[in-house]
Structure 1
């Protein structure tokens, strides 16, 4: 009987520890998007999926970057101060120094030329409203305008 109780307790403990406190991929914290409409919420959700696939490897799951090599996206003054440049950075990459939160970074960021305008807007909507950032949503029109300025 003790052995069965131990096994039952172990299985319940394992099942509950696997669920953890992580937010599921299909859940979006309501406080993050309290002012967003349905389209903006969809952009955020799609942006999170794209971020995990394209950006997370360098900028990390928590957006904190990698030491002095890869700049943080979390609580980033750069996002607030360079909004018009962000679509071009994601689409065409970045070469040369950049200062984020008072620290200089000079690691090239690769281009993502295959991303569509809507995908760029989605990634930026996610990044701009996660990890303490509050820059609002991005539209495809804003992305198109920014990309045309850079050419």
Structure 2
């Protein structure tokens, strides 16, 4: 499944909901299903800067693919759900796929009505960090 196919699948899931509240609950539920993050990533070095809540993101490189792990403080259910969405789309991809991904999912599901401007900045920081990891590992492969 490509990055775009993963996004399209999530967009279809969101299309099942008419109400913003139901979409928000779906995001929270996705966050609850996020696998536990390895303890080694629960450090200040792995905090996403720009999030209003504490959100940790780590990446592991295996067989030319990046796998992401994330968690958020207990009161940050929506933030945890948002990072979970990104992981569903980007984890298990090559670094180049991550760097070059056009993440249209956010706009297509109407996230503007779901998240505050502060969360929007945090979401942008999550995407930036994931693409940063993609760039770092892409550069390592080429050497």
The answer, yes or no, to whether TM exceeds 0.5 is no
Name whichever structure is richer in helix by fraction. 2
The interval holding the TM-score normalised by the smaller chain is 0.3 to 0.5
